[in-house]
Amino acid sequence: MSTVNTRPVAGQGDRRGPLASVLLHATLIAASVISLFPVVWLVLTSLKPRDGWLSAELELFNQPSLTNYSRVFSETEFPVWLLNSVVAAGLTTVLGVFLASTTGYALSRFSFPGRRGIMWLLLITQMFPVAILIVPLYNLMAALGLLNQIPGLIVAYMTIAVPFCAWMMKSYFDSIPREIDQAGLIDGLTPFGTFWRVILPLARPSLAVTAFYCFMTAWGEVAYATVFMSQEDKRTLGVGLQQFVGQHWSDWGLLTASAVLIAVPAAAVFLVVQRHLVAGLTSGATKS
Amino acid sequence: MRSTPSAGAHHGRRRGGRAPGPLRRALGRHWYAWAMVAPVLVVIGVLIGWPLLRGVYLSLTDATEANVGRTIGVNVIPASYEFVGLDNYLDILTSSLFWDKLTWTVIWTVSCVGLHYGLGLGLAMLLHRRMRFRSVYRMLLILPWAIPGFVAAFIWRYLFNSDFGVINAMLKAAGLGAVGWLDDPTTAKLAVIAVNVWVGVPFMMVALLGGLQAIPADLYEAAAVDGATPWQRFRHITLPMLRPVSATVVLLGTIWTFNMFPVIFLITRGGPGSDTEILVTYAFREAFTGVRNYSGSAAWGVIILALLIVLASVYRRALRKQGEVW
């Protein structure tokens, strides 16, 4: 792939008329505006004073202030939700990366009875709607005393994140030459040792992508969290934020400020890792 | 998918002495592989397999919140629901509600995935060209992907707000009337589709851009020498070469969109009425609002899953007919 990337881009390339150039840039600028606008408007709204969101005037700034932000921290449960979300997403990431990489490696390197079946299983679990699992899972969690417990939520998130991540890791391992494993074995490492000490370090970009995917999955999940975490102090951000804009009462000032606090750090990290993300995804997609 | 002799085989052959039985041999040869897959199998088995079986079982009973076993304080109330066979399925499949929801879910999925793919491919082809600011454009266009789904849903709900939303403010500024976006079935449907398109295009764009970059440039050069028009090059080189990537992302996109929960749940709550409710959000509502209808919800879930499995196998067969290895 990397050799293809550096080549000149296909198509008419350099010989583009001025009109075509203008059209190309105009289209891309329009698309970028649509893509960017909601986020910019969110940030601008969050900076308005307390009831600033009540005005529908198209003004960019109106006495910008950080009132909404200080209210989020002093008047709401936001810090608790944030902590819950960080813990849940963080642990999901650690466990998810570990499970996805061992599974992906086994599927990529060993041909063992059941391999095909497992690959199918991973694909099929992608299709499971929350609806069918959520009730029995709720009962199971209740029976195990895991309702309103963050570990329970983490285990539920595994079922969403791990199948896709294992699939992604497998594609990446497929692109690492087998000779490297064989060299490790000849040097006297066990298959597990080879995996741990030789292959995993080589798979770092893909591990980063997997970690990121697990984190985002857990960070953005709403359905399981809504059902499993009913207790006030166990809510995650996705559940908690619904409080700010209910049926009868809403405070978009609080909502926009907390949304910025949630989205902006995530977006920043995302934009830093996106190059790897693109490579990781496409190496999987073009080969599957 | 065909694999060369596995690295694990190396280990198994070291056993000397009597020739072990086939099971022993398989165990000796493959235990590394199985050990590495085991944790995932356990997680999938306990958290998907068991609930799935139980879900199927529940769908054949009349379990609701009122008759499942509970523990209130020290009192254990035993479950009193009964096996009712296929009654739930009959009820659902003969109700017009189900067919309404199914129709809307199909419209929702087809229009979302169609727009995702069309816009994603268009933007990917534009970004594939050599030009100024290419990486800036790419960064900006990827941005929606970086916003957690529920945050995106909240942002858009605010933009669509009929009194304070910026979309209506712009309409008013342009001299047009305000629209109660989320209060009318038609506009609410358009609104949720628009949001989901905004959320989903970046993924398609990135995956297809990767696919475009993997097409060897000499194919285009050869076609240009033969005098192929840009349209012909698109039809006969780009589309066929993209097919493996397209097949994967379209199937994934279809499954994800069919089951898309947060966008609808958080923007319209299924409303007005239940007009924007897709199958998944409806099943969720059955289970967790009002008197919790566990068995009904499970039956909806089984039907949804069955629909998706049928879809995936038809899709796979269609691809195979065209000679795709997938």
What interhelical angle do A18-46 and B149-160 show, nearest 10? 90
Between B5 and B46, the higher pLDDT residue: B46
Between A246 and B117, the higher pLDDT residue: B117
Residue with tokens 């065909």: B2
Q: Is the ipTM of this complex over 0.90?
A: no
Q: Give which of A112, A248, A278 to mutate to test B binding, by max B Cβ within 10 Å.
A: A112
In single-letter form, the type of residue at position A273 comes to V
- Asked if B215 is an interface residue toward chain A (Cβ–Cβ < 8 A), one would say yes
Q: Do A132 and B55 touch (CB under 8 A)?
A: yes
Name the DSSP letter for residue A8.
P
The answer to whether position A163 is within a domain reads yes
pLDDT value at A283 more than 60: no
pLDDT value at A170 more than 50: yes
pLDDT-above-90 percentage for chain B = 14
Q: Which residues contact B158 (CB under 8 A, 6 or more apart)?
A: A42, A45, A53, A252, A255, A256, B164, B165
- The CA-based angle A121-A221-B68, given to 5 degrees, is 75
| Residue A104's CATH number | 1.10.3720.10
Q: Give which of A9, A135, A174 to mutate to test B binding, by max B Cβ within 10 Å.
A: A135
Q: Which domain holds residue A177?
A: 78-281
pLDDT in tens, A228-267: 888 888 888 888 888 887 766 778 888 888 989 888 878 8
**Structure-token pair, residue A139:** 């009962």
- The count of structural domains within chain A is 1
- Asked if B283 is an interface residue toward chain A (Cβ–Cβ < 8 A), one would say yes
The answer to whether position A27 is within a domain reads no
**CB-based burial label for B313 (10 Å; 0-12, 13-18, 19+):** exposed
- Asked if B164 is an interface residue toward chain A (Cβ–Cβ < 8 A), one would say yes
Q: Do A35 and B144 touch (CB under 8 A)?
A: yes
Q: How many CA atoms lie within 13 A of B293 on its CB side?
A: 14
Please name the residue of chain A whose CA is at the shortest distance from the CA of residue B51: A136
The answer to whether position A165 is within a domain reads yes
How far apart are the CA of A137 and the nearest CA of chain B, in angstroms? 6
Instruction: Quote the CA–CA distance of B64 and B291 in Å, as a whole number.
Output: 7
Contact B14, B28 (CB under 8 A): no
The residues pairing with B72 across neighbouring beta strands, listed in sequence order, are B75
Instruction: Quote the CA–CA distance of A100 and B122 in Å, as a whole number.
Output: 33
**Structure-token pair, residue B185:** 């079935």
Q: What is the mean pLDDT of residues A15-43?
A: 88
B114-139 burial: b if 16+ Cβ within 10 Å, else e = ebbbebbbebbbbbbbebeeeeebbb
In single-letter form, the type of residue at position A284 comes to G
CA distances from B28 to A204, B4, B6, B20, B252 (A): 30, 19, 13, 9, 37
Instruction: Quote the CA–CA distance of A33 and A49 in Å, as a whole number.
Output: 25
**Shortest CA distance to B288 belongs to which of A260, A241, A227, A231?**
A227
The answer to whether position A287 is within a domain reads no
pLDDT value at A133 more than 80: no
Residues 111-130 of A with CB under 8 A from B: 111-116, 118, 121, 124-130
Q: Do B8 and A222 touch (CB under 8 A)?
A: no
pLDDT value at B10 more than 50: no
Name the DSSP letter for residue B39.
H
pLDDT value at A71 more than 50: yes
pLDDT in tens, B288-320: 777 788 888 888 888 888 888 888 888 878 777
pLDDT in tens, B149-197: 888 988 898 888 877 788 888 888 888 877 888 888 889 999 999 999 9
Residues 59-88 of A with CB under 8 A from B: none
- pLDDT given at position A209: 82
Q: Give which of B2, B23, B37 to mutate to test A binding, by max A Cβ within 10 Å.
A: B37
Using CB atoms, pick whichever of B145, B298, B305 lies closest to residue A128: B305
- pLDDT given at position A89: 92
Q: Do B283 and A270 touch (CB under 8 A)?
A: no
- pLDDT given at position B230: 86
A229: left (phi over 0), alpha (psi -120 to 50) or beta: beta
- pLDDT given at position A12: 45
Q: What is the mean pLDDT of chain A?
A: 81
Contact B216, B156 (CB under 8 A): no
Q: Which residues contact B157 (CB under 8 A, 6 or more apart)?
A: A245, B182, B266, B267
Q: What is the mean pLDDT of chain B?
A: 82
Q: Do B143 and A133 touch (CB under 8 A)?
A: no
pLDDT in tens, B83-103: 887 888 888 888 888 899 999
pLDDT value at B120 more than 80: yes
**Structure-token pair, residue A51:** 């009831």
Q: Do B151 and A259 touch (CB under 8 A)?
A: yes
The answer to whether position A203 is within a domain reads yes
- pLDDT given at position B1: 40
Q: What is the mean pLDDT of residues B282-288?
A: 81
pLDDT value at A52 more than 60: yes
Instruction: Quote the CA–CA distance of A281 and B165 in Å, as a whole number.
Output: 36
pLDDT value at B20 more than 70: no
Which SS3 state, helix, strand or coil, does residue B77 take? strand
Dihedral sign for Cα atoms in the order A56, A61, A64, A70: positive
- Asked if B259 is an interface residue toward chain A (Cβ–Cβ < 8 A), one would say yes
The DSSP secondary structure of B205-250, one letter per residue, reads HHHHHHHHHTS-HHHHHHHHHTT--HHHHIIIIIHHHHHHHHHHHH
pLDDT value at B124 more than 60: yes
The answer to whether position A14 is within a domain reads no
Between B43 and B226, the higher pLDDT residue: B226
Rounded to an integer, what is the distance from CA A200 to the centroid of its chain? Answer: 21
- Asked if B315 is an interface residue toward chain A (Cβ–Cβ < 8 A), one would say no
pLDDT in tens, B190-213: 999 999 999 999 989 988 888 888
Using CB atoms, pick whichever of B30, B147, B173 lies closest to residue A113: B30
pLDDT in tens, A177-217: 888 888 888 888 888 888 888 899 988 888 888 888 888 88
- pLDDT given at position B119: 95
Q: Do A133 and B301 touch (CB under 8 A)?
A: yes
Instruction: Quote the CA–CA distance of A274 and A268 in Å, as a whole number.
Output: 10
Q: Do A195 and B262 touch (CB under 8 A)?
A: no
- pLDDT given at position A278: 64
- Asked if A106 is an interface residue toward chain B (Cβ–Cβ < 8 A), one would say yes
Q: Do A106 and B37 touch (CB under 8 A)?
A: yes
- Asked if A211 is an interface residue toward chain B (Cβ–Cβ < 8 A), one would say no
How far apart are the CA of A80 and the nearest CA of chain B, in angstroms? 18
**Taking CB atoms and an 8 Å cutoff, what residues of chain A touch B172?**
56
Instruction: Quote the CA–CA distance of A195 and A189 in Å, as a whole number.
Output: 9
pLDDT-above-90 percentage for chain A = 13
- pLDDT given at position B302: 87
Using CB atoms, pick whichever of B7, B137, B215 lies closest to residue A32: B137
- pLDDT given at position A15: 63
Contact A118, B284 (CB under 8 A): no
**Taking CB atoms and an 8 Å cutoff, what residues of chain A touch B249?**
285
The answer to whether position A85 is within a domain reads yes
**Structure-token pair, residue B115:** 């727009």
- Asked if B76 is an interface residue toward chain A (Cβ–Cβ < 8 A), one would say no
Rounded to an integer, what is the distance from CA B129 to the centroid of its chain? Answer: 30
- Asked if B149 is an interface residue toward chain A (Cβ–Cβ < 8 A), one would say yes
Q: Do B154 and A9 touch (CB under 8 A)?
A: no
**Shortest CA distance to A137 belongs to which of B305, B255, B46?**
B46
**Taking CB atoms and an 8 Å cutoff, what residues of chain B touch A116?**
1
- Asked if B105 is an interface residue toward chain A (Cβ–Cβ < 8 A), one would say no
Q: Do A126 and B252 touch (CB under 8 A)?
A: yes
Range among A8-12, A249-253, B239-243, B270-274 rated most confident: B239-243
Size of interface A-B (CB pairs under 8 A): 342
Q: Which residues contact A40 (CB under 8 A, 6 or more apart)?
A: none
- pLDDT given at position B114: 96
